[in-house]
Amino acid sequence: MEDLRVTLCGTELSNPVIPASGTFGFGYEFAELYDINVLGTFSFKGTTKEPRYGNPLPRIAECEAGLINSIGLQNPGVDKVISEELPKLKKCFSKPVMANVSGFSVEDFVETCEKLDREPQVGWLEVNVSCPNVHGGGMIFGTDPKAAAGIVAAVKKAVKKPVIVKLSPNVTDIVSIALACEAAGADGICLINTMLGMRINLKTRKPVIANKMGGFSGPAVFPVALRMVWQVSDAVKVPVVGCGGVSTAEDVIEMMLAGATAVEVGCANLVNPFACPEIIENLPSAMKKYGITRLADIIGGAK
């Protein structure tokens, strides 16, 4: 029988499939459709210190092989996430959850992570230094090795749970940033977040998105994500979580062969809310097809 289990920063997952932050809400919405305990875990909606309404409308632009979003980290703020969202989640999800955190200063990141670190439901802190939609925040931290490392070092001093840093692909040298984060104490690296993109309405001759540019995701970015997972997993000793354009069981296997320990699924959840359980259901047959008995054995197997 095929073994789907993997271990991420010391915690065993029943399988490597993780819905990505921003595509799965706080989980309980999807629990109305299926038992979300089939997931390895999931990364909940990006959370900031203060509530955020997000960017102006329209925020979404469709593309042939994906979509562009400029949501702007809309969320109720960390205090309400803890008091309102996590109790709802606890009723339908029995596994540790990944808390995705964003901020606009080192102090923001530290305070938000400190609060979430105290929550029993939180198993990992996914520190997002890579969001391309928010001015003055993630994009600055995520494109500079020293700035990214500074966030990691400050957060690590304040928390006990594993810190996984989510990196931006909108850089020329992803490896140097990953190495800086590892040196600062990161327990894992997640990549990639969305790439910067835009669309123009031919009738109005104006950008479709009010913010002009947004984060491009979907199947079109998969080869870029795969390449960066390969490069970073080759350079760091901490586990890598692969993300970007994943929509099939075969994509998960390919990401793991490139060096990913676990794999996040993003845009596919917005197209098909059953994307993740379908991928998990299809993994054993895909493994059998390619002669894989144990998923953990193939991590980095293409090297």
- Distance CA(278)–CA(15), nearest Å, equals 13
Cβ contacts of residue 25 below 8 Å, gap of 6+?
A: 44, 45
The candidate with the shortest Cα–Cα distance to 111, out of 45, 15, 40, 47, is: 47
113 part of the active site: no
Partnered with residue 68 across adjacent β-strands are 61, 216
Coil, strand or helix at 207: strand
Q: What is the largest CA-CA distance in the chain?
A: 57
Which region holds residue 21: left if phi is over 0, alpha if psi is between -120 and 50, else beta? Answer: beta
CB 185 within 8 A of CB 207: no
Partnered with residue 217 across adjacent β-strands are 67
Partnered with residue 163 across adjacent β-strands are 125
Coil, strand or helix at 112: helix
List 131, 190, 267, 276, catalytic entry:
131
CB 88 within 8 A of CB 80: no
The candidate with the shortest Cα–Cα distance to 213, out of 195, 226, 231, is: 195
Strand 66-69 with 214-217, pairing:
antiparallel
Q: Distances from the Cα of 283 to the Cαs of 3, 30, 68, 79, 253, in angstroms?
A: 10, 21, 28, 37, 8
Q: Annotated catalytic sites, by residue? A: 131
